[in-house]
């Protein structure tokens, strides 16, 4: 697990990388997990990006304006 926090041009960026099994975002059924995280990001005018692939791990990026 790698966690990186950076601040540039009035934006705080949080990157979370893991080297786990990953997942196929097109094959998962909608649930409350990612939806809940997205709602929390929206509350801070933040963006949430999740990039994953089977066998490739997952990168989650949250970008928050400050």
Q: What is the CATH number of the domain that holds 28?
A: 3.30.565.10
Q: What is the pTM of this model?
A: 0.85
- Average pLDDT for the chain: 92
What value does the mean pLDDT take over residues 40-60? 94
Gyration radius of the chain over CA positions = 13
Overall domain count for the chain: 1
Helix, strand and coil percent figures for the chain, each rounded to 5: 15, 45, 35
For 12-23, write each residue's pLDDT tens digit.
Answer: 999 999 999 998
* Full residue range of the structural domain in which residue 61 is found: 2-65
The pLDDT assigned to 3 comes to: 98
15 CB-side CA count, 13 A: 7
Q: H or E element: which one contains 16?
A: strand 11-18
Return the number of other C-beta atoms located less than 10 Å from residue 62's C-beta: 20
More confident residue, 28 or 32: 32
β-strand 47-53 against 57-65: which pairing, if any? antiparallel
């Amino acid at each position: 697990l790698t966690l990186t926090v950076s601040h540039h041009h009035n934006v705080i960026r949080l990157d979370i990388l893991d080297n786990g099994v990953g997942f196929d975002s097109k094959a998962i059924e909608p649930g409350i997990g990612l939806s809940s995280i997205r709602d929390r990001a929206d509350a801070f005018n933040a963006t949430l990006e999740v990039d994953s692939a089977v066998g490739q791990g997952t990168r989650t990026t949250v970008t928050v304006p400050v």
